[in-house]
Structure formats: C-alpha cells, structure tokens
C-alpha cells in the first residue's frame, strides 16, 4: 500500500479552509470538493489507471488524433456515506461517465464499531474494474477495511483500487498496509492522533455534520 500526500499549495489552502471551525457548511463543503478534485486528478494520473481509446476528431479546421476515456470501462466511485457524498460530487465533475456505488455505514458511539445500512455495490466486479473509494476522514480505517474486503470479495483487484481521503491517521494507514497489494491512498494530510471519541486531532471535526449542517 502506498500513500501520497500532494504538496500543491492549493491542497494546503483548501485544507486550511476546511480545518477552520468557523467555516460554515457551504464553505466547508466547497473546500472538501476542491480537495476532492485535486486529489482525484492525482489519484487517476498514473499507471494507465484511466483507460483511454485513441481515435480522430474533425475540428473546424482539420483532423486531429485524439484520446478519450474508454466508455466501456467507467470508473466506479464508491462514496462512504455521509461525508463521502461531498467527494462524490467532486468525482462527478472530474470523471466523465463514472458510475456510483453508494455504501452507508453508521458508527455505534459507545463501541466505535461501524455497521452497514446501505450497499449498492454490484454483485460482481472484475479484476480490471477501476474503483475509487471516497471518504474524507480515515480515522482507524475500520470502515474502509470492511468496504475494501467487500469490494475485493466481489472480484475486484486491490491494485485497481484508489482511496481518496482528506485527513487520515497512521493507525488507519497501518490497518490498510497489509492484505491489499497495489492499493494506493491519496490524502491531503496525515494527522497523528485520535481522541477517545474516535475523532482525528486536530482533524476537521465531524465532516458529515459540518458538510450538511447537521444539528
Ligand atoms: N469521522 C469524522 O467525521 N471525523 C473524524 O475525526 C473521524 C471520523
């Protein structure tokens, strides 16, 4: 498993906006969306991960050789609800023709264990499927491990899975470091700690509540 933390100044800028507890929900959401777009560009740039077809296009002035995303191999974006929905919107603006497979997990606040309440993954995936799992907060990585195991159990290859997150922790990265050969994680930041409620410190707070203005 490899983790990338891009050093682009725009990543730092939008992370600063998201960190600020005074940023209201629309500002917080747009900061996460910008981070999502920047990180998704990075996550999809290498390894021929986005399959393209070559062809020709007639321009108003001639004919050009062109390459375009293979419509037969749409990226499957897996947002982990709720907060992943903000990164899903970013993915939809970056990836033409992507498909969405929502998964929803809810955390038991006493045990901090997450259980699934929604699963829209297809019954079967194949080893060539490109899968982008999006969740802005990777605290312990426990939910992500459940989602990855489910995706791989349906036939996907770990080397074709990319995770886009905003803040993750060393604990989460350790939990993802074995059993997923070729998995890559793209994050704006790695924060050192978790508090006793399972929140990342300094982190962003509850990303779902902040994105949607939940009371
Ligand atoms: N989920 C969040 O929204 N925030 C955290 O800090 C950890 C998990």
From the CA of 139, give the closest atom in ligand 1.
7
Amino acid 93: pLDDT: 94
What confidence category does residue 112 fall into, taking pLDDT thresholds of 50, 70 and 90? confident
Mean of the per-residue pLDDT values of the chain: 95
Alpha carbon of 61 to ligand 1 centroid (Å)? 53
Closest residue by Cα to atom 3, ligand 1, is 206
Question: Is residue 113 scored above 90 in pLDDT?
Answer: no
194-206 average pLDDT score: 95
- Name the region of 56 (left: φ>0; alpha: ψ -120 to 50; beta: rest): beta
Give the residue, out of 29, 199, 202, 210, with the most ligand 1 atoms within 8 A of its beta carbon, to mutate for a pocket test: 199
- Ligand 1 pocket, Cβ-based, cut-off 6 angstroms: 83, 137, 139, 199-200, 203, 206-208
In the chain, how long is the greatest CA-to-CA distance? 66
Nearest CA to ligand 1 atom 5: 199
Pocket test residue of 189, 205, 209 for ligand 1, highest count of atoms within 8 A of CB: 205
Span from the CA of 165 to the centroid of ligand 1 (angstroms): 11
Percent of the chain residues topping a pLDDT of 90: 93
Residue 122's pLDDT is 97
Residue in 175, 174, 204 with CA at minimum distance from that of residue 188: 204
Nearest to 95 by CA among 165, 39, 47, 178: 39
pLDDT value at position 134?
98
- The three-class DSSP label of residue 200 is strand
């Amino acid at each position: 498993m490899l983790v990338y933390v891009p050093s682009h100044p725009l990543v730092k800028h939008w992370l600063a906006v998201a960190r600020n507890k005074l940023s209201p929900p629309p500002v917080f959401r747009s900061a996460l969306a910008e981070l999502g777009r920047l990180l998704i560009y990075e996550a999809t740039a290498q390894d021929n991960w986005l399959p393209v077809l070559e062809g020709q296009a007639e321009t108003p002035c001639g004919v050009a050789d062109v390459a375009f995303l293979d419509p037969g191999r749409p990226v499957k974006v897996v947002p982990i609800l709720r907060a992943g929905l903000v990164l899903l919107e970013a993915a939809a603006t970056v990836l033409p023709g992507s498909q969405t497979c929502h998964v929803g997990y809810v955390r038991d606040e006493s045990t901090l264990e997450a259980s699934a309440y929604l699963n829209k993954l297809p019954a079967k995936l194949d080893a060539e499927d490109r899968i982008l799992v999006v969740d802005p907060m990777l605290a312990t990585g426990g939910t992500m491990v459940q989602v990855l195991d489910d995706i791989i159990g349906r036939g996907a290859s770990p080397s074709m899975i990319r995770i886009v997150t905003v803040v993750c922790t060393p604990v989460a990265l350790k939990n993802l470091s074995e059993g997923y050969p070729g998995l890559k994680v793209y994050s704006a930041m790695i924060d050192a700690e978790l508090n006793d409620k399972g929140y990342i410190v300094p982190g962003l707070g509850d990303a779902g509540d902040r994105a949607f203005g939940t009371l």
